[in-house]
Amino acid sequence: MTGGVEGRTTDTEPSAAERRAVVAKRVESGSADLTEITQLAAAAGYDVVGELTQTRTEDAAFMFGKGKVAELRDLVRRTDATAVVIDNDVGPYQTFNIGGELPEGVEVIDRFTLILEIFGQRANTRKAQLQVELAELRYELPRAEAKASLAKRDERPGFMGLGEYDESVERDIKRQISEIRDELESIAEKEESRREQRRNSGFDLVALAGYTNAGKSTLMRRLAAEIDVDENAERHPDLDTTAESQDMLFTTLGTTTRRAEMEKRDVLLTDTVGFIADLPHWLVESFESTLDSVYRADLVLLVVDASESVEEMREKLVTSHDTLYERNEAPIVTVFNKVDRLAPGELADKRAALSGVAPDPVAVSAKTGAGVAELRDRVESELPDWERERLVLPLSDDAMSLVSWIHDHGHVEGEAYADDQVTLDFEAKPSIVARARSKAAGLAPAEST
């Protein structure tokens, strides 16, 4: 059955770069939503000048029905579009067939190619660049043979700018994938060593997770102190105190770690690339080393946009849980963000409706600061338990150095001086308490005068 919304032209003016795109989507039933693909296209630098949707079963040759492809061709001509962005997983044969119906030079881009293009534009660190390259190669591998066949059939070497294919192409892609994985593994080992060093220094590691545009970046700026502790990370656009949070997808790629301000505990907060709907398994796996910052944290803050519908929130919560619980062992605290956009009573309704997937969420507005104090308290209460300890130390220079060290690595609740001794009551991570005991045992008694 065919149907759906007819192609139409938007009022958007051409961009200076003349990257003009028509966005299109096919759904099996209901109405196609082009909101996210339009945002993705804009994030990639395209000026969206037209839209087309269709509701029908997938056509094996063209994805859309043949008549709808003709409609797409006419829309491209009217808008002078340079690309067609399709919010579906379009196979190589379908891509070839659609491209053959469009004016010469018009590029056909599917959802995942567009995402990879955005990732490539935002990859400013070696790790991010490697992950993008890995994703591109994993995307290309199953298509290499099909593209070679298409190029041969069309008698155009280098079809779609891919270059000539021969029997060595697949082997070369696999070799590159192996080399990239080896380098990413080396980077991951260094990052794990850095995480352990930070834990040994008394820091708890908290990760921000959630869908892109949920407000993670703004929340990080709200929670974080002014010290960027990860000099190797890509500078996050929201970390400058004078910067404005951008309402667009993928404002950063990679991870940024900063010290968060808490009452008692020293916390390092890591923000990373946001989740996005309908990502295939191969793409998630390509960014596994970035997700390690989430998987290996002591606590995960799962940020959700509370201004979205209950249905959208539920779907994203379920998908996020599937991703996180697969490998993550740390507790997860759900954060309902953007509550400043809700009408009176709407928050309570959403809490009730989503209690099954978010039983005890913290409601905040990262923009206004509402609820952030409660979130700080919740973070401290959910982190692994600290151990209480009392040490009685002789008054000496070495003891004072130990007292200073404990102040830096734990929370001192009491400090008393009497009879050439100092009594210290404090809380700290078990590893820090053990090190403090060891240091105390090696202290020499104070010299008598």
Phi and psi dihedrals of 115, rounded to 5? -60, -45
- The response to whether 273 counts as a known ligand-binding position is yes
- The response to whether 211 counts as a known ligand-binding position is yes
- The response to whether 139 counts as a known ligand-binding position is no
- The response to whether 271 counts as a known ligand-binding position is yes
Query: DSSP character for 255?
Result: -
> Which token pair is 24?
């299109």
Distance of CA 87 to the CA centre of its chain: 20
- The response to whether 9 counts as a known ligand-binding position is no
- Distance CA(238)–CA(375), nearest Å, equals 20
- The response to whether 4 counts as a known ligand-binding position is no
- Distance CA(369)–CA(219), nearest Å, equals 9
- The response to whether 168 counts as a known ligand-binding position is no
Q: What does the H/E/C string look like for 302-341? A: EEEECCCCHHHHHHHHHHHHHHHHCCCCCCEEEEEECHHH
Asked if 80 contacts 103 with a C-beta cutoff of 8 angstroms, the reply is no
Q: Is 123 helix (H, G, I), strand (E, B) or coil?
A: coil
Helices and strands, number each (H, E), in the chain: 14, 15
- The response to whether 337 counts as a known ligand-binding position is yes
Edge-to-edge strand list for the sheet holding 47-55: 8-9, 47-55, 20-27, 83-86, 107-110
DSSP bridge partners of 337: 305
- The response to whether 350 counts as a known ligand-binding position is no
- The response to whether 84 counts as a known ligand-binding position is no
Query: DSSP character for 266?
Result: -
Edge-to-edge strand list for the sheet holding 256-260: 224-228, 256-260, 267-271, 204-210, 299-305, 332-337, 362-363
Q: Is the dihedral of CA 422, 427, 432, 434 positive or negative?
A: positive
- The response to whether 65 counts as a known ligand-binding position is no
> Residue type at 77?
R
- The response to whether 366 counts as a known ligand-binding position is yes
- Distance CA(54)–CA(110), nearest Å, equals 16
- The response to whether 448 counts as a known ligand-binding position is no
- The response to whether 272 counts as a known ligand-binding position is yes
- The response to whether 214 counts as a known ligand-binding position is yes
- The response to whether 123 counts as a known ligand-binding position is no
Feature table: binding site for Mg(2+): 217, 252
Feature table: binding site for GTP: 210-217, 271-274, 337-340, 365-367
Feature table: binding site: 210-217, 252, 271-274, 337-340, 365-367
